Amino acid sequence: MTTQEDMIALVAELNRHAHAYYVLDNPSIPDAEYDRLFKQLQAWEAAHPEWAQADSPTKRVGGVPLPEFSQVQHSVPMLSLNNGFSDEDIENFDRRVKEGLDQFHAEYAVDLKFDGLAISLRYENGILTQAATRGDGATGEDVTANIRTIDVIPLRLFGAVVPQVLEVRGEVLMFKQDFQNLNARQRAAGQKEFANPRNAAAGSLRQLDSRITAQRSLRFFAYGIGDLQGAPMPPSQAALLDWYVTLGLPVCDKRAVVQDAAGLLEFFRNIGLQRAGLPYDIDGVVYKLNQFDLQQKLGFVSRAPRFAIAHKFPAEEALTTLEEIEVQVGRTGAITPVARLAPVFVGGVTVTNATLHNEDEVRRKDIRIGDTVIVRRAGDVIPEVVAHVPERRPADAREFVMPQACPVCGSPIERPEEEAIARCSGGWQRCKAQKKGALIHFASRRAMDIEGLGEQLVEQLVEKNIINTPADLYKLGVAKLAALERMAEKSAQNILSALAASKQNVNLARFIYALGIRHVGESTAKALARHFGKLEAVQAASAEELLQVEDIGPVVAASISAFFADPINCEMVEQLRAAGIALKEGEGERDNTPQVFAGKTVVLTGTLPTLTRDAAAGMIEKAGGKVSSSVSKKTSLVVAGSDAGSKLAKAQELGVAVIDEAQFLSLLQPVQTEQDPLENEA
C-alpha cells in the first residue's frame, strides 16, 4: 500500500530525472526505468486521485481541448528591445549608457537573442500556476495547459526556499532538428508544413488542444524576470540567471559578462561564428547592463529599456522579385531550376540567384516568374526561394516550363516518371556542364584530392577544349597550363605536382568514388572496394553480384552496371590506368588505421562510457569492419556498454565474443598484439 508521502517522493524523483534528462542533457537513469516509475505514478494517481500533486509529471500529457485562450494581465509589462545592427550602433549604445550613469566603465550581461516567442511563467510558492504569451506587452494569452507539456519547464521549482511569487520571463522555441522532424511528419500526413522553427513554435504553443502541443518538442530558455515576492532580488542579471539554474530553470549556457563596447562586439563576433552550428535559431545577441540598480537608474524610453539592446544579425529572409527561372545542369545531368532575382541583400550578402530544387518544388510552392518571393540565405547555405507572396502576384505572372532540351548541349531532357529529377541525357561526353562537374568531382578533396584544380581552372580547360576526360588531366604540360588566365609558371608547376602526387597510392574506394558514378557516394564506394578488392572485379560484376554488396539495392546496382556497360566510361578508366594511376587494391582505406576488423561484423549495444554510438561505428568501419544492428551467428564481436539488454543476452547464447569499450579501444591501438583478439574471445 502506498501513502501520500510515497507519491510526493515519487513525483520529486521523477522530476529530478526529467531535469537531468531535458535540462542538463545528462540522464540519471535509463529511459526504461523512467518509464517504469512514470507508469507506477500513473497507477497510484488513478487509485488515489485525491493525492495527485500539482507538479506531477503526468500533468504534462495534454488534457482536453481549451475553448479558447483567456486573457492574462501582466503584472509587470513585457517590453521589447531596441535593435542595433552595426558596430557603430553598439558603440553609441555603450556611450549613452556610460553618459547616463556618469561613469567611464560599464559591465554587461550578454546572452543570445532566441528566435521564438516570449513567455511569462508565474510560479506561486514554487508551483507553476500560469503561463502567458507576451501579447501586446500588457495583456497576453493564457497558455498554461500548453506550457505544462514542455518537458524542460519545471512544474515545481527546485530548492527548499522558493519565493511566494516568481515570474520567469523567457523564450519558447523549437530546435532545428525537431522542426525538421515535425515538417517531415506534417508532409507524410499531407498537412501544412511550417516555414521556420519560430512559426512552428508559435503554431504549436497556440494550439487549443494541448495534446497536440505535447507532441511538438518545444524548448524554453529563461532570460528575465517579472514579478518577485517573498525573496530578495539578485543584484544583477548574471546573478539572476545563476539563481534560475539552481531553481531548475533552463538557462542557455552561451552567456557571459563582458566589459564595454569592445567586450560586446567580441561576444557578437564569437557567437556569429558559432551560429550555424547551434541546435536552434538565433537572430542576434542581447546586451543588458549587468547591475539591476544601474538599470533602474537608466530607466526606459517609451516601451524599451535604455539599459539593454539587441544586436541583430542581418536578416536571413528578404523579399524580392523573381525575374526569370532558368535551369542549371549538374555533374550527373540533374536539371535544377534556378531563380534569377532582382538583387537583394540577405544573410549579409547580395543574392541574385537562388535554387528552386526541382520541378515539383516549383509547382508545390506555386512559384511563378514575376512573383514577389521570400528568399532565404542562412549561414553558408545556398540561397533558396521559400515561398511567394500571393497578394503581390502580377496578372502576367508566368508558370515555369521545364525545357525539352539541355540548355548546354541540346540533348533531350528526360524525367523518368517515378523520379523527381529531370536529367540531360547527353552524358559527360557530350554535355560540357556534366563534363566540368565530373572533373571538379574527380579532383575534389575526398576523391583524387588534386590541390589547386578548382572550378575556374576546369572551366577554362573544358571551354578551350584542352581536356576531354579526367585522364587528359595527366597529359597536361606546364606550357599549356601557364598560358591560362590567372595562371603562371609557378602555379602551373604546383598543379602538375598535385596531379603527380594524386597518382600515387590511390586506394580503390577513393578511385571508384572519383569516377562519379551516379548514386555511388563515399560509403558505397568503400563497400564496393571491400567486397570486390580489385577494380576489374567491380567492372565485371553483374547486377546480381552487385546486389550481394552490403547496402547496395537495385537502383544503385543498375546505375553501376550502366556506368561500366558504357564503352566511353570503360575507355576513360583504361586511360586513367594507362596514365599511371597506382591503385592500392584489396584495401578499404587509404589511411593507416590497422584493419583489425577487416571482414568482421560488429554489433554495438548499451551505452558506452565515453564513445557515442556514431563514433564507435565510425572507428569500426575505418578499421575495415561492418556494423550491424542485430546479433546473429555471423556476428564476429559485440561491444557492450552499460544497460546492454537483449543483444548481449543473444551474444552470450550464441557464444559470440563480447568486449567492453576499453578492450575495444585497445584493439584499435596502432601496435597490435600477436594474436588476433577477435578469434580468441568467447
The window from 79-87, 330-338, 367-375, 507-515 that contacts ligand IVH (CB under 6 A) reads: 79-87
Number of residues located near ligand IVH, criterion CB under 6 A: 16
User: Which residues, numbered 300-319, are part of the site for ligand IVH (CB under 6 A)?
Assistant: 305, 308, 310
Closer residue to ligand IVH in complex, CB, 300/345: 300
Q: How far apart are CA 112 and CA 223, in angstroms?
A: 9
Interface map 237-276 toward ligand IVH (x if CB under 6 A): ----------------------------------------
Q: Kindly state the smallest distance separating residue 656's Cβ from ligand IVH, in Å.
A: 52
Q: What residues are paired with 220 via a beta bridge?
A: 172
Q: Kindly state the smallest distance separating residue 253's Cβ from ligand IVH, in Å.
A: 13
Compute CA distances 489 → 93, 198, 519, 560, whole Å. 53, 54, 38, 40
Interface map 93-132 toward ligand IVH (x if CB under 6 A): ------------------xxxx---x--------------
Among 39, 59, 113, 436, which one carries the catalytic annotation?
113
In the numeric block, which cell numbers belong to residue 522? 563515399
- 589 is a site residue for ligand IVH (CB under 6 A): no
Calculate the CA 556 to chain-centre distance. Answer: 27
Q: Collapsing DSSP states into helix, strand and coil, what is residue 502?
A: helix
The window from 76-84, 273-281, 459-467, 519-527 that contacts ligand IVH (CB under 6 A) reads: 76-84
Burial class (CB in 10 A: 0-12, 13-18, 19+), 343: exposed
Instruction: Please choose, from the candidates 112, 119, 113, the residue with its C-alpha nearest in 3D space to the C-alpha of residue 153.
Output: 119
Output DSSP code: residue 398. B
Sign of CA dihedral 506, 510, 516, 518: positive
In DSSP notation, 15-70 reads HHHHIIIIISS--SS-HHHHHHHHHHHHHHHHH-GGG--TT-GGGGS--SPPSSPP
Interface map 191-230 toward ligand IVH (x if CB under 6 A): --------------------------------xx------
- 234 is a site residue for ligand IVH (CB under 6 A): no
Q: How far apart are CA 259 and CA 244, in angstroms?
A: 23
User: Which residues, numbered 151-180, are part of the site for ligand IVH (CB under 6 A)?
Assistant: 171
Output DSSP code: residue 383. P
- The CB density around residue 331, as the number of other CB atoms within 10 Å, is 18
Closer residue to ligand IVH in complex, CB, 44/223: 223
Q: Kindly state the smallest distance separating residue 573's Cβ from ligand IVH, in Å.
A: 56
Interface map 445-484 toward ligand IVH (x if CB under 6 A): ----------------------------------------
- 286 is a site residue for ligand IVH (CB under 6 A): yes
Closer residue to ligand IVH in complex, CB, 97/499: 97
Q: Kindly state the smallest distance separating residue 86's Cβ from ligand IVH, in Å.
A: 18
Q: Kindly state the smallest distance separating residue 110's Cβ from ligand IVH, in Å.
A: 9
Q: How far apart are CA 144 and CA 72, in angstroms?
A: 11
The window from 73-81, 451-459, 483-491, 516-524 that contacts ligand IVH (CB under 6 A) reads: 73-81
Element (H, E) at 551: none
User: What ranges in 102-209 are assigned the alpha helix state H?
Assistant: 144-147, 176-188, 197-205
Q: Kindly state the smallest distance separating residue 66's Cβ from ligand IVH, in Å.
A: 23
Closer residue to ligand IVH in complex, CB, 101/402: 101
Q: Is 436 a catalytic residue?
A: no
Contact with ligand IVH (CB under 6 A) among 134, 331, 377, 441: 134
Taking CB atoms, the residue at the shortest distance from ligand IVH is 118
Residue 122: CA atoms inside 13 Å, Cβ hemisphere, count?
20
Residue listed under C-alpha cell 571538379: 440
Q: What dihedral do alpha carbons 549, 552, 553, 556 form, nearest 10°?
A: -120
Output DSSP code: residue 277. G
Catalytic site positions: 113
Rule CB under 6 A: which residues touch ligand IVH?
79-81, 111-114, 118, 134, 171, 223-224, 286, 305, 308, 310
